[in-house]
Amino acid sequence: MTVNQLALAAAFAASAAGVAGVAVAAAPRGFTVEDMVAMDRAGTPVVSPDGKRIVYTVRSTDVAKNKGHTDLYLVDLASANPAPQRLTADAASSTDPEWSGKGDAIYFLSTRSGSAQVWRLPLQGTRAGEPVRVTDLPLDVDNFRVSPTGERIALSMAVFRDCADLACTRARMEARSKDKASGMVYDRLFVRHWDTWADGRNAVLYSAPLDASGKVSGAPVSLSGTLDGDVPSKPFGDREEYRFSPDGKTVVFSVRIAGKTEAWSTNFDLYTVPAAGGQAPRNLTADNPAWDTKGTFSPDGRTLAYLAMARPGFEADRYQVMLLDLASGKKRKLAADWDRSAGNLQWTQDGKALVVDAEDVGQHRLFSIDVASGKVTALTGKGSIGGYDVRAGTIAFTQANLQSGAQLYAMTPGGTGAKPLTALNKERLADVRWGESEQFSFAGANGDTVHGYVMKPWNYEPGKKYPIAFLVHGGPQGSFGNGWSYRWNPQTYAGAGYAAVFIDFHGSTGYGQKFTDAISGDWGGKPLEDLQKGLAAAVAKYPWLDRANACALGASYGGYMMNWIQGNWPDGFKCIVNHDGVFDTRGMAFSTEEQWFTDWENGGSYFAVPQNYETFNPVLHVAKWKTPMLVVQGDLDFRIPTAQGLSAFTALQRKGIESKLLVFPDENHWVLKPANSLLWHHTVIGWLDQHLKQQ
C-alpha cells in the first residue's frame, strides 16, 4: 500500500470509529510537499514598550488562489496561559507591525485601501479596535518606522529623485504605462537587479509628523533624497537599515552611493540626519570603504552600535560589531576575537549588552555581548533563530529546526525562562513521522574538521538501506544546518522515503571566517573534496545509507557544483538536479547583476584575470558529462541568468544524455508561488524516483 493510500485508509478508519464513539489515531505518514506549502509561517515578533505583549505575523497559504495571506497576532505575556490572539482578519494582508511609543496601538502596512499604506490599530490591553489609516499618499509605502516619542514616522517609497513631489512620480509612472513605446535607455549598470528591470526610481527615505491621533499631519520630507542610492537597499533591504534615536530627533540609515560603480561596490556607509529634515545627511563611516550597516542607538542615545565588514567588494566578509561614541567620534570593535559574523543587533534596556544573532557550527543562535568587557554568552542552543526583538526585559524570537517550522518564543535577556508561545501546524501535522537527523563531522580538505547532517527517511527500519538525496547548499557562503526551509527542505525527501545527506563544505558560514574564505578562488577544489569525503564518511558511519543509489541536488552555487560534478565526479551519482546553476563562469561574469560577487570570487574581473575564471569552469568539462540531469531555471533569475540553465540543457541534449528542463517564466532565483513550488518538488522527487526506485 502506498503512503497516500495509507493516509486515506487511516482517515476512513478514523471517520468510522468516530461514528462508533471510539477515538482512533491516524496512521503515521511522511511529510509531503502539500504539507509544507500549506504550513502557517510565523514572522518576526515585536515586543511592546513595557515588555508584556508581543505582536507578530502569521502567513497562511491559499493553495486554490495560489497566494499567501498575512495577519497580525498578539500574545499577552502577563496572562497565566499566554495564547495567540488574532488581531486582523481582512481580505488584504497586514504586515510589518510596530508598536506606538505608549504601547496603546500597533502600526502596520496594508493594501486594504487599494495601495500599500500605513494603518494604526488601537489597543486597550489586548482588545483591538478598528484600524485607522495613517498615510494617504500617492505612492506605495514600502516600509516604515514610528519614532519612540510618537511624533514622527519614517517611511521609504520608490520615487524619481528629480521629481519635486510624490505626485510627480505617480504621474510619470501613469504616463509611462500609456506610452506605446516600451524601450528603456540606460547609461550605467544595475539595469536589472534580482528579478526586476530598473525603471529609474530610487528607494528614498522620508519622514512626516504625526498628530495626537497618530495620523500623518504634514507632507513627507526627504531624508536621503540628496544621496544617489537606495534606502533601504535593494533587493532585500528592510527597516533594519534605518532607525530613530531614542529622543526621536535623529535618524540613522545606511546607503551605498550608486554612480557608475554600484554594480561592483559593497561600500555602504552610515549617515545621520535630523528626523525633521532640513539638513544634508552626515557620513559617519567614510573611513571604511567596505560595508557598514544596521546602526542602532543605545538607550541613552550616546552610542551607536553597528555592523561593519573590513574588505571592500566581499559580501560574505565577517560582520564585526562596532561601537561609535557619537560625541567624540571614537570607534571601537566589540568582541573583536569572537570569530562569528553577526546578523542583526539590538541593545538591552539597560544599555549594558547587545543581543546579536549568528550562525554557529550548524546552528543559528542568539548571543549576548557585554558592552564593557566584550564577553560573548550564548542565549540559545540547537536550532535556527529567525527574527527577534529585545524590549523591557523580554527577548521574543522565532526558532526552527530540522523537524519544525518557526515557532515563537520569549525569554529574559539573561537567557533564562525561554518558553514556546505558539504551536503552529501542530494539529495539521499531528500524524507526520519526521525524519530523524544527526550532525556528524569528518576530516575534510587539508585535514580540517568539516560538519554535515544526515536525516533518516520517515519510514526508517533498522537493517534496511535507503536511497540518498545528497543536497548541496548555495551561497556559496551559506549553510545547510539545523533549520527549516520552504524551498530546500530535507524533510520533503525524508517524507518521500529518502535518506538525506548535506555537508557544510569549505566556504560555509558559522565555522569561522577563515573557513568561509576558503572557497573564494577554489570553487571546484576543496568544496568538491569535502563533498566526496563527507558522503564517504556518512556512508561509513550510517549503514542504512545506500551509496549505490544516490542522486545529487543543488541550486545556485549548489547548481554550479552539479555542473562541476558532471565533469569531475562523473561516476558519483545515478542522477543530478541542477537548479539555477552556473554553467559557464565566463558568461556568468558578464551577465550577472551584482558584479562584486564574481570579481571577489575570482580575484578580479574576467578581462583582468580570465585564467582564474577558467580554472573551475564547468563548460570546459562537458566532454566527460554522462549522468542524467534535471535542469531547473527561473526566467526572472538575473543573478544566474536563464542562458546558464539553457546552456547546460543544450549540452546534455547534444551529448544524448537523459535530461529534462523545467522552466518557470514567472519565478526568480527562488520558486515562491505555491503552485510552482508543488510542481517543482513533484518534478524533482519524480526524477529521483525514476532513477533510484525504479530498478
- Residue 4 pLDDT exceeds 70: no
Q: What is the pLDDT of residue 125?
A: 80
Nearest to 510 by CA among 581, 446, 453: 453
Structure-block grid coordinates of residue 280: 544634508
- In CATH, the number for domain 334-423 is 2.40.10
Structure-block grid coordinates of residue 452: 554535515
CA distance 525 to 322: 34
Q: What is the pLDDT of residue 80?
A: 86
| Averaged pLDDT, 138-167 | 97
Give the max Cα distance, the chain.
Answer: 78
Structure-block grid coordinates of residue 121: 490599530
What phi and psi values does residue 289 have, to the nearest 5 degrees? Answer: -80, 5
- Residue 549 pLDDT exceeds 80: yes
Query: In angstroms, how far is CA 217 from the centroid of its own chain?
Result: 35
Q: Whole-model pTM?
A: 0.94
Nearest to 677 by CA among 237, 41, 43, 27: 41
AA identity, residue 617:
N
Looking at beta carbons, which pairs linking 307-310 to residues 24 or more positions away fall under 8 Å?
307/342, 307/345, 309/266
Q: What is the pLDDT of residue 500?
A: 98
DSSP string over 138-168: SS---EEEE-TTSSEEEEEEEE-TT-SSHHH
Q: What is the pLDDT of residue 688?
A: 98
Centre a 10 Å sphere on the Cβ of residue 261 and count the other Cβ atoms it contains.
14
8 Å CB contact between 554 and 577:
yes
What phi and psi values does residue 173 have, to the nearest 5 degrees? Answer: -65, -40
Residue 218 DSSP symbol: S
- Residue 46 pLDDT exceeds 60: yes
DSSP string over 33-53: HHHHHH--EE---EE-TTSSE
| Averaged pLDDT, 198-215 | 96
- Residue 146 pLDDT exceeds 60: yes
Q: Is the dihedral of CA 327, 329, 335, 340 positive or negative?
A: positive
Note the pLDDT tens digit of each residue in 398-447: 999 999 999 999 998 887 778 999 999 999 999 999 999 999 999 999 99
What phi and psi values does residue 203 have, to the nearest 5 degrees? Answer: -80, 110
- Residue 24 pLDDT exceeds 70: no
Could you tell me where in the chain the CATH 3.40.50.1820 domains are found? 437-692
Question: At 490, which helix (H) or strand (E)?
Answer: helix 490-494
| Averaged pLDDT, 213-242 | 96
- Residue 647 pLDDT exceeds 70: yes
Nearest to 393 by CA among 410, 373, 368, 379: 410
AA identity, residue 465:
K
Q: What is the pLDDT of residue 26?
A: 82
Lowest mean pLDDT among 9-13, 151-155, 461-465: 9-13
DSSP string over 315-379: TTS--EEEEEETTT--EEESSTT----EEEEEE-TTSSEEEEEEEETTEEEEEEEETTT--EEE-
CA distance 454 to 457: 10
The terminus-to-terminus CA distance of the chain in angstroms comes to: 18
8 Å CB contact between 587 and 647:
yes
8 Å CB contact between 242 and 205:
yes
Q: Which residues partner with 404 through β-bridges?
A: 401
AA identity, residue 404:
S
For 136, the 3-state DSSP assignment is coil
* Distance (Å) of CA 385 to CA 102, 159, 374: 28, 34, 22
CA distance 309 to 579: 30
Q: Which residues of 393-430 are buried (b: 16+ CB within 10 A; e: fewer)?
A: ebbbbbbbbbbbbbbbbbbebebeebeebbebbeeebe
Q: What is the pLDDT of residue 695?
A: 61
Structure-block grid coordinates of residue 278: 532640513
Q: Which residue has the cell 471517520?
A: 15
| Averaged pLDDT, 502-511 | 98
N residues, the chain? 695
Structure-block grid coordinates of residue 464: 534496511
Residue 420 DSSP symbol: E
Q: Which residue has the cell 560573548?
A: 376
Question: At 270, which helix (H) or strand (E)?
Answer: strand 268-274
Note the pLDDT tens digit of each residue in 56-76: 999 999 999 999 999 999 999
- Residue 23 pLDDT exceeds 50: no
Residue 240 DSSP symbol: G
Q: Which residue has the cell 513605446?
A: 181
Structure-block grid coordinates of residue 549: 543509489
The mean of the pLDDT values for the chain is 95
CA distance 669 to 52: 40
Q: Is the dihedral of CA 205, 208, 210, 216 positive or negative?
A: negative
Note the pLDDT tens digit of each residue in 100-135: 999 999 999 999 999 999 999 999 888 899 999 999
Question: At 437, which helix (H) or strand (E)?
Answer: strand 437-443
CA distance 13 to 415: 46
Share of the chain above pLDDT 90, in %: 93
Looking at beta carbons, which pairs linking 611-617 to residues 24 or more positions away fall under 8 Å?
612/521, 613/585, 613/586, 613/589, 614/585, 614/586, 615/524, 616/522, 616/523, 616/524, 616/525, 616/564, 616/585, 617/584, 617/585, 617/586
Q: What is the pLDDT of residue 5?
A: 37
CA distance 482 to 305: 29
- Residue 196 pLDDT exceeds 90: yes
Could you tell me the CATH superfamily of domain 437-692? Alpha/Beta hydrolase fold, catalytic domain (3.40.50.1820)
Lowest mean pLDDT among 25-29, 202-206, 285-289, 620-624: 25-29
| Pairing mode, strands 303-308 and 629-634 | unpaired
CA distance 203 to 152: 19
Note the pLDDT tens digit of each residue in 658-694: 999 999 999 999 999 999 999 999 999 999 999 999 8
| Pairing mode, strands 85-86 and 94-99 | unpaired
8 Å CB contact between 687 and 630:
yes
